[in-house]
A and B are shown apart, each in its own frame.
Chain A
Amino acid sequence: MWEPNKYRFFQLNTWNIVIFYLLLGFLWILFSDRLLEQAMDDPATLTQLQTIKGWFYVMITGVLLFVLINRHTTRIGRMRTEFIERFDLYRTLLEQGNQVVIQVDEHQHFSYANSAVRDILGYNDSELQTMHDIEALVHPNDRSRFGELRKSYDIKQKDHEPIKKRIRLRHKNESWRWYFLILTDKRSFEHIESRLLLVRDIHDETTLFEQLNEAHSRLSYHIQNTPLGFVEWDADMRVMEWSSESEQIFGWKREEVVGLLTGEWTMVYSDDAQFVMKRMKNMLQGKELRNVISNRNYTKEGDVLHCEWYNSALLDRDGRLVSIMSLVHDITKRINAQEDLKKLNALLEEKVRQRTRELELVNQELESFAYSVSHDLRAPLRGIDGFSQVLLEKYAGQLDDQGMEYLNRVRQASQRMGNLIDDILGLSRISRVNIKMERVDLAALGREIIESLQEKEPERKVNFSAPEELLVTGDTSLLRVMMQNLLENAWKYSATRKLAEIEIGYREEGKDDNGHEENGNEENGHVTVYVRDNGVGFSMKYHDKLFMPFQRLHTQDEFQGTGIGLATVQRIVYRHSGSIHAESKENGGADFIFKLPDKSV
């Protein structure tokens, strides 16, 4: 090592030599001349001897001087080489190192910075010198910490340990980065000549550390807050970690179970133990890195829980198992609920079966009722009508006009009742028949029905308009009954018009009277259709009575009918999961608007 002490020794040695030389020369001159004068009388020889002695002296001192100077020159040369070598080494270290070295001079100004400053702080040497200090680059939150370091720039201060601070500085690229600052002394021959400020970029490791810290606290936050229990096992299946939620689920405290081996306590339900161990062995042997096991466990009190275990193996860099981490989900409630649900379902199914049986019975009853109505109620009517007719024919002579008229009334009444019975039966049949869904063209049906109505009453002038096709999905025979009823109504109630207008079509977008958005086509697989006439209409205040069986808004004298038609229509629409309503005003025609399925079959 190159040590300053060598110079000191060298300096002292020079003075020693000079003193030694002066002493020797003085003694030589003092004694040799006096001794020669005593021994030699001949002045000429004496002079000759003194001359030789002088030359001899000069020769000796010359040789001595040569040896000395030569030795020192060699030594200085060697030292210079050594110095240059070391200087180069230090300079290389200084310039190539990943550390900024700044020299703070006695005026507390930056007098030097190594080239690393450009890589580490982004500024070059001269930029830094014009700044005088890096104080302007310090992050506001780190100012006070930097201040402690800044105080020690002053070299008049006493010795102290190097000051170290972690501080954020603004890099030239405007980003804040973490740096490690060390303020130390630069000494020269024991004197503090200036301070050195060393700056190391620790941003990456700091942020990495912060991220690691954050990840760790996030993980522990999750473990603390998850409703799942957390358990960690070592490679011998010894409990290493037991979270507070695990305590909640199983009842064992952390300190009771940490360190226990599988054989030392019983937490797996005995029937499940074998297969649980098999699965865990797979993990311990590295066959599985992750698995989910659903099994029963005991609590500390001996209750049985249904648990789901989410296990994952933690391996080290060499693939050796470090630990198994498990999350436990207590699904006892869910399992119990499922079982309850199953029971409830079974109960419900039983109830449904029971209801279905009851309904079937009621239906059977209804059917036999309808059958008997159809058969037994009509038979007496036939009698009434038939015998009245016989009376009219055979006994006409014995009755006056009034009597004949009464008998006709009897016949009319019985026929009307026959119609009523037929209509009621029709209505009940609609609820009983099985629906066969197919594509039905209501426009074609409408034309057919109007044609037959026209045939029956050729004198009526009716203008019927319908689109070329009006497709819906439904049961053909039921929809025919529906259209028959609606069009017969339209026909009937527009009878007072000189030119009756009957129209069917898709109801386009717009609002109905109830403020509902109506969309003619393609509304949830439904289509909205209207049947319109320009007949007498009805007052909207009776609209809720329209579709009730036997409710009529007109007398028999005005318009004939049984009051079953619209009830039948409504029932048909309902059987298609549709809806129907009417819009009208007195003497202003009527619109019957219904929604039917529109799905391709």
Chain B
Amino acid sequence: MERDILLVEDNPDDVDLTIMALEKSNILNKVKVARNGEEALDMLHGLNGVEPQALPAVVLLDLNMPKINGLEVLKEIRSNERTRRLPVVILTSSREEQDIIRGYDLGANSYIRKPVDFENFVSAVRQLGLYWLVLNESGV
């Protein structure tokens, strides 16, 4: 069975666009959406100590979010034994060097900047899906 994709994104437009881009790229995995960092961590680590049954195939992580931002989520993911090897792709508007560097330092597997042009975005998402969902052998 194909595993889920966890999309961590606070902007509903971006949620919809990402889902549409995934659809357009024929990536049919189920997309779970976390609206902020806290929610994402709950979904990964489980609420009230109850662990969820399966981990997603890949986490698409936005950086700039209220409460717990993307980099903090990434840090949490990497510090938890269960989620340590989970593929995390940072998918963000920011092209700031500091974000890229910190992202990789914290163990991001990829860093993709969302282009304004929707067609470019679709092609980026397609390549991303192809790599992480089809080609890559997951460590989890």
Number of B interface residues at 8 Å Cβ cutoff, please give it.
21
- Is A375 a contact partner of B94 (Cβ separation < 8 A)? yes
Report how far A374 CA is from B115 CA in the complex, Å.
11
User: Is the C-beta of A383 less than 8 angstroms from some C-beta in chain B?
Assistant: yes
Least distance between B139 CB and chain A CB atoms (Å): 30
Least distance between A365 CB and chain B CB atoms (Å): 15
- Is A418 a contact partner of B94 (Cβ separation < 8 A)? no
User: Is the C-beta of A378 less than 8 angstroms from some C-beta in chain B?
Assistant: yes
Least distance between B87 CB and chain A CB atoms (Å): 23
Task: Please tell me which one of the listed residues A371, A374, A382, A418 contacts residue B14 in the complex, with CB atoms under 8 A apart.
Answer: A382
- Is B92 a contact partner of A387 (Cβ separation < 8 A)? no
What residues on B are CB-neighbors of A381 within 8 Å? 116
User: Is the C-beta of B119 less than 8 angstroms from some C-beta in chain A?
Assistant: yes
Least distance between A156 CB and chain B CB atoms (Å): 122
- Is A375 a contact partner of B93 (Cβ separation < 8 A)? yes
Task: Please tell me which one of the listed residues A379, A385, A418, A422 contacts residue B11 in the complex, with CB atoms under 8 A apart.
Answer: A379
Considering the complex, which residues of chain B in the window 61-120 have a beta carbon less than 8 Å from any beta carbon of chain A? 63-64, 92-96, 99, 114-119
Report how far A299 CA is from B115 CA in the complex, Å.
82
Per-position 1/0 for A355-381, Cβ under 8 A of B = 000000000000000111011101111
User: Is the C-beta of B47 less than 8 angstroms from some C-beta in chain A?
Assistant: no
Per-position 1/0 for B1-45, Cβ under 8 A of A = 000000000010110010011000000000000000000000000
User: Is the C-beta of A415 less than 8 angstroms from some C-beta in chain B?
Assistant: yes
- Is A375 a contact partner of B92 (Cβ separation < 8 A)? yes
Per-position 1/0 for A151-176, Cβ under 8 A of B = 00000000000000000000000000
User: Is the C-beta of B132 less than 8 angstroms from some C-beta in chain A?
Assistant: no
When C-beta atoms are compared, the residue in chain A nearest to B21 turns out to be A386
When C-beta atoms are compared, the residue in chain A nearest to B12 turns out to be A383
Least distance between A306 CB and chain B CB atoms (Å): 55
- Is A385 a contact partner of B116 (Cβ separation < 8 A)? yes
- Is B20 a contact partner of A386 (Cβ separation < 8 A)? yes
What residues on A are CB-neighbors of B11 within 8 Å? 379, 383
Task: Please tell me which one of the listed residues B21, B99, B116, B118 contacts residue A378 in the complex, with CB atoms under 8 A apart.
Answer: B116
Report how far A422 CA is from B96 CA in the complex, Å.
11
When C-beta atoms are compared, the residue in chain B nearest to A380 turns out to be B13
| Residue picked from B63, B96, B116, most chain A C-beta under 10 Å | B116
Task: Please tell me which one of the listed residues A385, A422, A425 contacts residue B118 in the complex, with CB atoms under 8 A apart.
Answer: A385
- Is A371 a contact partner of B117 (Cβ separation < 8 A)? no
- Given known pairs A389-B118, A414-B116, A415-B116, the reply for A375 and B63 (CB within 8 Å) is yes
Task: Please tell me which one of the listed residues A379, A387, A415 contacts residue B117 in the complex, with CB atoms under 8 A apart.
Answer: A415
Least distance between B136 CB and chain A CB atoms (Å): 26
Report how far A378 CA is from B14 CA in the complex, Å.
11
- Is A387 a contact partner of B17 (Cβ separation < 8 A)? yes
Report how far A207 CA is from B37 CA in the complex, Å.
105
User: Is the C-beta of A390 less than 8 angstroms from some C-beta in chain B?
Assistant: yes
Task: Please tell me which one of the listed residues B17, B94, B95, B96 contacts residue A382 in the complex, with CB atoms under 8 A apart.
Answer: B17
List the 10 shortest-distance A-B pairs measured between CB atoms, nearest first. A418-B116, A383-B13, A389-B118, A386-B118, A386-B17, A378-B93, A375-B93, A375-B64, A381-B116, A375-B94
A-B residue pairs in contact (CB < 8 Å), sample of 26: A370-B96, A374-B95, A375-B63, A375-B64, A375-B93, A375-B94, A378-B93, A379-B11, A381-B116, A382-B93, A382-B115, A382-B118, A382-B121, A383-B14, A385-B117, A385-B118, A386-B13, A386-B118, A386-B121, A387-B17, A388-B118, A411-B118, A415-B116, A417-B116, A418-B116, A418-B117
Q: Taking beta carbons and an 8 Å cutoff, which residues of B are in contact with A?
A: 11, 13-14, 17, 20-21, 63-64, 92-96, 99, 114-119, 121
Taking A383-B13, A387-B17, A390-B20 as known contacts, 16 extra A-B pairs with beta carbons closer than 8 A to each other, sorted by chain A number, are: A371-B94, A374-B93, A374-B94, A374-B95, A374-B96, A375-B63, A376-B64, A379-B14, A382-B14, A382-B17, A382-B115, A383-B11, A385-B116, A386-B21, A411-B118, A415-B116
